[in-house]
Amino acid sequence: MSNNGVAQYIQAQEKELEEKQKKADELLSHMNLLVTNNNDLAALQTLLQGSSQAINLAANSAVSKYLDDYAKKLQKDNEERSNQLQKTLLEALTNGDEYKYLREAGYGFRVDGEGISAYRQIYSGEIEIDGSAMKSTSYSPDLEYQYIRMETKFNPGNLSVDMMNPNATRFNAEMVLGVKNYIDNLQKNVEQMFAQFSNKTNEIKEEYAQNEEIEDYQKNCMKRVKKTT
């Protein structure tokens, strides 16, 4: 190999080393800004394999911070979803066709903390009047309130991710891929859980039917009492 060839080879090696060092320096300087979304996590799979301990620590710290920030974002998103669900459901209960049967049954609606309460008054008896006097067959009606409670705060449980120890965890492509898959699955599960949680149709119908049964039972009991008096 000629001297010129050796010089070119050394120059190429130095350039490659310089480029690697530049990437490492950039990673260390901007690690907390580097990992901000799933695409960044995917990119980390192929970046700086077999890095030094300092770079490994920086990469692990960035992934840990991303996981923590992502959990906080999910919590914030869920709060916003819950607020919107409460507004949408209250509007549907008050004016929508789907819940017209509740309004016709005498229910009113109010925001109640982290949910909505439907309520009505029911009477289990009736007063019979003969002129200005109460008939002997009359019985005093019992006034009672019935409620249907609808929770609107979506709380899928603890969304925080256990922070890995940046000093003890070895940064590698498999670890980053595992984190990425975990987040993808978590997001999918949260979406499915919210879709189920926000659908109140069957839940409300079941509680409405129970209240109707209670009202009918009480009226029948009072009628039997009336017949025996």
pLDDT of amino acid 178: 80
Q: Report the percent of the chain where pLDDT is more than 70.
A: 56
| Tokens (6 digits) for 49 | 């394999």
Domain-embedded: residue 212: yes
Residue 14 lies in a domain: no
In a domain, residue 83? The reply is yes
Does residue 120 register a pLDDT over 50?
A: yes
Displacement of CA 116 from its chain's centroid (Å): 17
Sign of the C-alpha dihedral, residues 36, 37, 43, 45? positive
Percent of the chain with pLDDT over 90: 30
47 pLDDT more than 60: no
Average pLDDT, the chain: 75
Work out the average pLDDT over 203-216. Answer: 91
Residue 59 is assigned to a structural domain of this protein = yes
pLDDT, residue 100, reads 96
The answer as to whether 91 is a domain residue is: yes
Residue 13 lies in a domain: no
Identify whether 80 is part of a domain: yes
pLDDT tens track for 148-157? 999 999 988 7
pTM for the structure as a whole: 0.64
Per-residue pLDDT tens over the stretch 78-110: 999 999 999 999 999 999 999 999 999 999 999
- Cα distance between residue 202 and residue 18, in whole Å: 65
| Distant-in-sequence, close-in-space partners of 144: CB < 8 Å, separation ≥ 6 | 121, 122, 123, 124, 218
3-state class of 171 per DSSP?
A: coil
State the residue range of the domain holding 109: 35-228
Check residues 120 and 21 and name the one with the higher pLDDT: 120
Which stretches of 124-172 are DSSP H helices?
none
> Mapping DSSP to helix (H, G, I), strand (E, B) and coil, where does residue 151 land?
strand
pLDDT tens digit string along 168-195?
667 677 777 787 888 888 888 889 999 9
Give a yes or no: residue 20 inside a domain. Answer: no
pLDDT class for 167, splitting at 50, 70, 90?
A: low
Region 200-219 average pLDDT: 89
Q: Report how many domains make up the chain.
A: 1
Tell me the pLDDT tens digit for each residue of 128-138: 444 444 444 44
